[in-house]
Amino acid sequence: MAANHLHLLLCLALATLVSLDFSCAQTGITSLSPLKADAGAGRSSPSGRFSFGFYATEGGLAVGVWLATAPNVTITWTANHNDTATRGMLRLADDGRLLWTGAGDHDRTVAQPSRLAVTGAMRDDSNFVLFGADDTVVWQTFESPRDTLVAGQDLMPAAQLFSSLSDINKAAGKYRLVNQQEDDNLVLYPMSTPNDPASSYCNTGTFDLGFTLILRLDTSGLLYLVNNDGSFTKNL
């Protein structure tokens, strides 16, 4: 009887390990499951709506998140705007960074978490997340915006968005949108200009309110500025 119980426990444990390994292979990147560079190679969200990995761009490949259910490749996030290569792999390094190794003549840091990351997962809201050993989030694409906000994502104070050269070439383009922490104003600037009024060509006129503002795109599609406690909003 004891032997039968032990056999059953061993079978259950093996099934659990196989299940966990399959789950990581489908939705995450671990130090044991690197992702080889190839156009379209990625890790999908549970529903398959979004993917994180490599997509084809002008000059080679780029690392990013894209809407996998759209007829055309719709990029929602890209790492390292101007980086392209045609080989290598994504992997979690021993120091917790997410690296594109073997890309050209050096390793490229895709994500540098605040604490050691041990696994990552693609979520259905377009957020790619890295987790620590205690399953807490240590890094996420939502906190590192590039050129796009998706529903449910905020542009925090001191963060900025950069225009892209094209829909698939996410190298930095001609303009940037800055959520200025120093004066609470949301301002559009041409690229390579200082953050001063003389360089600005459009702003929300919310300067010097006395509190910081967040640019929010909610799940209903409404774009607005809001302060931390919700007592001030400006619909854009």
Which domains, ranges and CATH numbers included, belong to the chain? 29-141 (2.90.10.10), 153-235 (2.90.10)
Give the pLDDT mean for 158-181.
88
The least confident of 1-15, 23-37, 79-93, 213-227 is: 1-15
**pTM given for the model:** 0.78
Provide the mean pLDDT of the chain: 82
> What's the CA gap between 11 and 4, in Å, rounded?
11
Q: Is the pLDDT of residue 32 over 70?
A: no
Most confidently predicted of 54-63, 94-103, 199-208: 199-208
Best CA proximity match to 43, nearest among 102, 96, 90, 77: 90
Average pLDDT over residues 109-132: 92
- How many other CB atoms sit within 10 Å of the CB of residue 222? 12
Q: What is the strand order of the sheet 213-217 is part of?
A: 153-155, 213-217, 223-227, 233-235
Given a cut of 50, whether residue 4 has pLDDT beyond it is: no
Q: What is the mean pLDDT of residues 173-196?
A: 92
Cα distances (angstroms) measured from residue 129 to each of 52, 102, 153, 227: 10, 23, 13, 25
Q: Is 153 left (phi over 0), alpha (psi -120 to 50) or beta?
A: beta
